Amino acid sequence: MAQDTLSIPGISTPVSRVALGTWAIGGWMWGGPDDDNAIRTIHRALDEGVNLLDTAPVYGFGHSEEVIGRALAGRRDKAVIATKVGLNWKDEKPFRDSTPARIRQEIEESLRRLKTDYIDLYQVHWPDDKTPIAETAETLAALVREGKVRALGVSNYSVEQMETFAAHAPLATAQPPYNLFERGIEADILPYLVRQKLVGLGYGPLCRGLLAGRMTADTTFPKDDLRSADPKFQALRFAQYLAAVDRLRALAERHGTSVMVLAIRWVLDQGPMIALWGARKPAQIDGVSDVFGWHLSDEDRAEIDAILKETITDPVGPEFMAPPNR
């Protein structure tokens, strides 16, 4: 399958503009793991031309990385691995920790779990208010010099924090939340990416499944599912977002596609963005190939904006997901 690609400085292989997001593969906050299906999902993604795999130690407290390591046995050269650093945890409760000591510990643990001797893209998962960004960046720059990491990125950083990081280490990417319903980065982060020629990895492009187009008013979530605590999936607000999805579905059908494909295409049309397509079953890769070979028009984007304005009177962002500082 032909995919659009982007080049990330420091990484020799062009990366697919749809990446496989593997938070759910770790199982934590997604109803538990299913390793056999997860491995088949990773193989299906690679077969479909999705060569960028995005993970993190906190996804299942190492489990997502371990599954990717098993899935890539004999296929490491087919994948570009993006993982993260800077979250610690106690009793399965994450907190931010980007100290040099924690980074040095995490890199070795991630390399072991992923069964590789280098990581293509190493991203700070959340800014740590108690550790100077300069210390974090300089430690990561050392990992690049040592050959353990090819390129560096940050996730959930403000523009000011990115500027500080970039003064101490080469910054190649930023990973913010971004989807049709969560567009806060358009005020400052997205323009900064364009100005600095950085690549954005938009996480949550389907907004925790809302934009997959399969949910109804009767959809419920178990207590160990992230969405049971997500304000978007509660009471009256959930109805507003479902109404928006219904209207978006009609627009997608005029293009002969699904609301899910429409939502991913929308992210890619906003700038130098890669969309993280979360999946844990092979069938959830269906539709990736439909994202490419077309674009939304200015009229389409204006209609989308009108739909959101008319249906969602009480919008909310993804702030609930932020882990605490130490």
Catalogue the active-site residues. Answer: 59
Residue identified by tokens 């390591």 is 69
| CA 300 to chain CA mean position, Å | 25
Measured N-to-C along each axis, helices 100-114 and 133-145 cross at an angle, to the nearest 10 degrees, of 40
Structure tokens at 254: 């005029």
d(CA 322, CA 324): 7
d(CA 207, CA 96): 23
Strand partners for 121 = 82, 151
Strand partners for 46 = none
Among residues 170, 179, 178, the alpha carbon closest in space to that of 197 is found at 170
Residue 233, H or E segment: none
d(CA 214, CA 206): 11
Beta strands 87-90; 93-96: pairing state: antiparallel
d(CA 261, CA 321): 25
Half-sphere exposure of 159 (CA within 13 A, CB side): 13
Read off φ and ψ for residue 12, nearest 5 degrees. Answer: -75, -25
The alpha carbon dihedral of 247, 251, 254, 259 has a sign of negative
Measured N-to-C along each axis, helices 63-71 and 100-114 cross at an angle, to the nearest 10 degrees, of 40
